Amino acid sequence: MLARLALALSLLLSVCGVARARGPLVVIDPGHGGTNTGAWGPTANRHEKRVTLAIAKRLQRALRKQRPDLRVALTRRDDHYVSLQSRVRRANQLGADAFISIHLNASPTRAQHGFETFVLSSQATNREALRTASRENERQLARGASAPGADAAAILADIAQRGVRRASLSLAQRVQQQLSKARRAAPGRGVRQAPFDVLMGLTMPGVLVEVGFIDHPSEGPELLRPAVQRRIAEALARGIIAYLASAQSHSSAGGVARR
């Protein structure tokens, strides 16, 4: 009797799709939102927060299409403010396997263009990387600044120890590689590091990607085109999936498991 009940229950669950194989979980973080509008493109006449959300939703679709067993969550699905700390908390609570924060860049001269992928570090790669982190963190960073809080050094030491930093670099390299293939006309600015608050305290590999400059006269309007957003999202999805596959093969080959 009990066996029959269990069988009936499992059949019901599989019909409802509940008993599906549970693959890795990716948390996508569309930068900014609500009163925090992000950068603004004068020629594109659009705020960063709207473009990051559009690309994030396309990325969710691309991930599910390219690898249907993946679970995907967004830190926001509409135009409202979410603090950087609660984005990190959400990803940690969900037990994500990878975290990607999507942003668009801006430069003082509006002359820069291209894409770059960041990993967390207490020290920025250069002055430009520090300026980008200052803008995205909603606070000014002095030269040589670290992340906020007295325990910042301890958190950074901890992620280094647990291999999260190495895995984040691997994720960043794959994302950047795929963007380079998809965006041949735009220059790849490489994998860089800086003290980004939205990567601070993550317990899983995480990157922040600046997919292009919204204030550049030609790149800005281009980033609003649905076809370009789709190409970017598909490239990000390929990068994330390649990373997850390599992480999986490392852990099944006896490498250090993330958790």
Residues that bind Zn ion (CB under 5 A): 31, 38, 103, 136
Q: Which two tokens stand for residue 88?
A: 């990190």
Side-chain half-sphere exposure of 158, counting CA atoms within 13 A: 11
- Closer Cβ to Zn ion, 75 or 170, answer by number: 75
Q: Which of 128, 132, 112, 134 is nearest to 214 (CA)?
A: 112
208 Cβ neighbours under 8 A, 6+ residues apart: 100, 101, 103, 117, 118, 136, 196, 198, 199
- Closer Cβ to Zn ion, 214 or 247, answer by number: 214
Alpha-carbon distance of 143 to 15, in angstroms, equals 57
26 neighbors 69 (Cβ within 8 angstroms): no
- Closer Cβ to Zn ion, 101 or 168, answer by number: 101
CB of 36 to Zn ion, least distance (A): 9
CB of 222 to Zn ion, least distance (A): 18
- Closer Cβ to Zn ion, 170 or 176, answer by number: 176
Q: Which two tokens stand for residue 190?
A: 């490489």
Helix, coil or strand: residue 170: helix
Alpha-carbon distance of 15 to 235, in angstroms, equals 33
Which single residue brings its beta carbon nearest to Zn ion? Answer: 103
Residue with tokens 């263009």: 113
CB of 219 to Zn ion, least distance (A): 15
CB of 188 to Zn ion, least distance (A): 19
Q: Which of 114, 110, 128, 132 is nearest to 216 (CA)?
A: 110
Q: Which two tokens stand for residue 226?
A: 């649905």
Q: Which one-letter amino acid corresponds to residue 220?
A: G
CB of 240 to Zn ion, least distance (A): 19
- Closer Cβ to Zn ion, 196 or 243, answer by number: 196
- Closer Cβ to Zn ion, 208 or 241, answer by number: 208
- Closer Cβ to Zn ion, 84 or 244, answer by number: 84
Radius of gyration of the chain (CA): 19
CB of 66 to Zn ion, least distance (A): 25
CB of 70 to Zn ion, least distance (A): 25
